[in-house]
């Protein structure tokens, strides 16, 4: 019987996105180091036979060699206890010039980028097949050239890939199908590149472990590695282990029927305390989404900046400083009974038009195309999303349209009230 750890997308020293404007906020750069240190601690505690790293150890070129020195120091901790490390380069590793010149400890194997290689661990009867990225953008199907399984061995495939079709927010690199992977006859596919944990198949096991530390709101939820236990060449246990030092999460707060700013903040406080009740004792970066039907909707929009500051103060109070607010999204709406849906009225026409747009992918794309010249002028930091993110997403567009819809209806209602006419 033996154990091994599968990890990927360490992105050591990757920069913070979303909290950098707030003084005293957690340092996400150190969080990636702390998460990897905990991974090594876990490997030593569990006495694993080896660790698999499926690419993107780094986040492109380093500012200095301290990034590489840190990684090597942690790998040496494993090697000193006889734990071998098998790693491949991902698209971000291929960007780094310094990575290629970094000498690795003796018990660490870097797989070739030219063609698939096979490493045998004879005493465990394990065969590990892998190939890394030679360049940042690998468009060919690397899995096609992987060898078929070796009889009498527990076979593992080590690959950085987006699979066919890709995933939103991730570049479509080394695309392959699930059938391509299954056809090799391996027992376990250790994949990397996708930052959300996913078990794609259990016969054989095909796993994305996700990254070890979320770096922005689009990488929310628990992050960590996968621990696998093998007996008589069969997997008997597979489990996720949290490693993240700071967790990104979206917290929805229902503001149905609130009638004041104080009530809105109280609702947030209740939701916040409920969330923390069963949550691990680590810092959190929360995106707060305020939803629901409330007659105070227009005032909330007018007081949005004040509301956001109150929420930030309250979050710090109820969590003893453990919660940081990444962003507050106001997505409430006024009571529908106040708005006419008659298509002959201005409010009815606006609601009908919005419904048509939201249900039409073509209309959404057309709006995005019209906005494109303006969006190109907006700096990536101002957008506060990763530079590889397709911004604005369909979700963003729908949110902006909803807000425009609410604003127009509010203005029409105010104009109608001031003139004494029914809208």
Residues 266 and 291 in one domain: yes
Distance CA 327, CA 308 (A): 8
Are 218 and 253 in a shared domain? no
Residues 207 and 279 in one domain: no
198 & 279 share domain: no
| Helices marked H in 152-288 | 178-182, 261-277
**Do 226 and 266 lie in a common domain?**
no
- Domain final residue, candidates 242, 261, 292: 242
Find the angle CA(247)-CA(250)-CA(256) to the nearest 5 degrees.
145
Residue 219 and residue 263 in one domain: no
Co-location of 220 and 101 in the same domain: yes
Domain boundary among the residues 242, 267, 302 is at 242
Relative orientation angle of helices 394-419 and 361-375, to the nearest 10 degrees: 90
Question: Is 253 in the same domain as 387?
Answer: yes
- Whole-model pTM? 0.81
- Per-residue pLDDT of the chain in tens (423 residues, 90 and over written 9): 999 999 999 999 987 677 777 777 777 678 999 999 999 999 999 999 999 999 999 886 666 788 889 999 999 999 999 999 999 998 877 655 555 567 899 999 999 999 999 999 999 999 999 999 988 878 899 999 999 999 999 999 999 998 876 555 556 788 899 999 999 999 999 999 999 999 999 999 999 999 999 999 999 999 999 999 999 999 999 999 999 999 999 999 999 999 999 999 999 999 999 999 989 999 999 999 999 999 998 899 889 999 999 999 999 999 999 999 999 999 998 886 555 667 777 778 877 888 888 888 888 888 878 877 776 665 444 454 444 455 567 777 777 777 777 667 666 666 666 665 443
Task: Let me know whether 306 and 279 are in one domain.
Answer: yes
CB atoms near residue 401 (< 10 Å): 17
**Residue 159 and residue 255 in one domain:** no
Give the chain's domain count.
2
CATH number, domain of 152, equals 3.60.21.10
Supply 298's token pair.
Answer: 């227009």
Q: Which of 198, 218, 242 is the last residue of a domain?
A: 242
Range(s) of the domain holding residue 353: 247-419
Specify whether 217 is located in the same domain as 310. Answer: no
| 3-state DSSP helix/strand/coil % of the chain, to nearest 5 | 35, 25, 40
Residues 340 and 413 in one domain: yes
Token pair belonging to 396: 């963003």
């Amino acid at each position: 019987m033996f154990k091994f750890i599968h990890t990927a997308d360490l992105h050591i020293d990757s920069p913070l996105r979303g909290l950098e404007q707030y003084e005293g906020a957690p340092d996400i750069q150190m969080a990636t180091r702390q998460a990897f240190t905990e991974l090594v601690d876990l490997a030593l505690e569990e006495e694993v036979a080896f660790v698999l790293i499926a690419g993107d150890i780094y986040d492109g070129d380093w500012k200095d060699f301290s990034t590489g020195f840190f990684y090597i120091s942690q790998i040496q901790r494993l090697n000193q206890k006889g734990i071998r490390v098998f790693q491949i380069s991902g698209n971000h590793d291929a960007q780094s010039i310094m990575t290629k010149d970094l000498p690795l400890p003796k018990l660490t194997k870097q797989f070739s980028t030219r063609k698939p290689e096979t490493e045998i661990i004879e005493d465990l009867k394990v065969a590990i097949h892998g190939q890394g990225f030679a360049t940042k953008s690998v468009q060919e199907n690397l899995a096609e050239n992987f060898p078929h399984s070796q009889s009498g061995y527990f076979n593992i495939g080590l690959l950085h890939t987006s699979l066919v079709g890709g995933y939103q927010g991730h570049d479509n690199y080394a695309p392959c199908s699930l059938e391509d992977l299954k056809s090799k006859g391996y027992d376990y596919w250790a994949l990397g590149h996708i930052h959300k944990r996913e078990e794609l198949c259990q016969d054989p096991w095909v796993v994305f472990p996700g990254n070890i530390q979320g770096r922005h709101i689009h990488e929310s939820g628990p992050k960590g590695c996968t621990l696998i236990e093998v007996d008589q060449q069969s997997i008997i246990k597979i489990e996720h282990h949290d490693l993240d030092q700071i967790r990104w999460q979206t917290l929805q707060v229902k503001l149905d029927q609130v009638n004041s700013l104080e009530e809105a903040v109280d609702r947030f406080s209740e939701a916040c305390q409920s969330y923390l009740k069963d949550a691990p004792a680590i810092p959190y970066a929360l995106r707060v989404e305020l939803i629901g039907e409330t007659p105070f909707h227009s005032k909330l929009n007018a007081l949005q900046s004040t509301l956001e500051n109150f929420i930030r103060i309250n979050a710090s109070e109820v969590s003893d400083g453990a919660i940081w607010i990444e962003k507050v999204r106001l997505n409430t709406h006024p009571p529908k009974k106040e708005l006419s849906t008659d298509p002959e009225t201005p409010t009815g026409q606006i609601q009908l038009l919005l419904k048509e747009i939201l249900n039409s992918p073509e209309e959404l794309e057309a709006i995005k195309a019209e906005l494109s010249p303006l969006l190109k002028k907006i700096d990536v930091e101002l957008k506060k999303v990763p530079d590889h993110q397709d911004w604005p997403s369909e979700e963003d567009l729908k949110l902006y349209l909803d807000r425009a819809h609410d604003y127009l209806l509010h203005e029409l209602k105010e104009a109608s009230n001031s003139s004494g006419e029914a809208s």
